[in-house]
Homo-oligomer: A and B are copies of this chain.
């Protein structure tokens, strides 16, 4: 079985979200798939009207400025910090190692595997197991994916000080911090720190490709130069600016997804131990993970497995009543409720 339940990207890393792999793994599964393999909000921010000018013209400096102003406000970026928009956080993860000081890199793992991969590709010595004393650069995903672990601001500030003293950098990936703003280091951004923020997960628009890096002005100017002009599409500039300015939507979505996450916990309780998560995904630990993954797959429900943690499954949130019903039925093992004719 290719990838055994997660797509294998060209870099060999498993990811959720590609239903082509789900279909290949479970060709007999009822359609449509209920895709719980990502941590993307299943209730997207409503797309605003997109005038044709956003598609036909090169993205304008004024549109980019509007996006960055909205992002500064939403993320509470200090005025002295720089901010760069990119077509998704992934490309920032790829570029950061090429602009970073040399020295060993420690990644607070297990976590999103693309961080370690990018630093290794760039020739850095990377440790993911522990947090060695001698690391110059430290990478923390906060809250962490997949276990939701949160480091306190004070811990992060202390890490930043240590990295700075060694001539390095603290990288904080806050892809899942939007619904828990109290977890963000941005309002009191420490020196020698780069923060990554992702637009697509919270706003349920992962196909749009929009992410941000925030840090000291000089490294941010270097990131911007590495991306070159017009890296973010016109429609993404507009949707991002409007959504990030809509704090009311963010608060309501956060409350609703927290309720969904509690509902998911209740469904999963009989199947193992919830060992963490955020309000966009929950991490289940069970010695029967492989069997449960296969049972869900046969019911057309795709969840996330992990290469190095075969006893864990990550569940995203169903996005509609049908998804909840099918998940409940599949967990109960009642195939009659999920047949295509039901």
Contact = CB atoms under 8 A, between A and B. Distances in A.
B93 A229 contact: no
Given A10-B224, A94-B226, A17 B55 contact: no
Interface in A204-250: 204-209, 221, 224-236
A183 interface: no
Interface stretch (A84-92, A162-170, A261-269, A301-309): A84-92
Interface size band for A: 35 or more
A151 interface: no
Contacts of A56: 40, 44, 204-207
Interface string A40-51: 100010010000
Given A58-B40, A207-B58, A231 B88 contact: yes
A52 interface: yes
Given A44-B52, A62-B20, A57 B207 contact: yes
Contacts of A20: 60-62
Contact of A10 (B7, B225, B236): B225
A58 B38 contact: yes
Copies in the complex: 2
Interface in A1-49: 7, 9-11, 15, 17-20, 35, 38, 40, 44, 47
A224 to B, nearest CB: 6
A109 interface: no
A221 B232 CA distance: 23
Given A209-B230, A233-B233, A44 B55 contact: yes
Contacts of A252: none
A169 B52 CA distance: 38
12 contacts: A15-B229, A18-B58, A18-B60, A20-B62, A40-B57, A47-B55, A56-B206, A57-B206, A87-B231, A88-B230, A90-B229, A233-B233
Interface of A: 7, 9-11, 15, 17-20, 35, 38, 40, 44, 47, 52-62, 87-88, 90-91, 93-94, 98, 114, 118, 121, 200, 204-209, 221, 224-236
The 7 closest A-B pairs by CB, nearest first: A207-B234, A209-B233, A87-B87, A94-B228, A17-B58, A90-B228, A58-B206
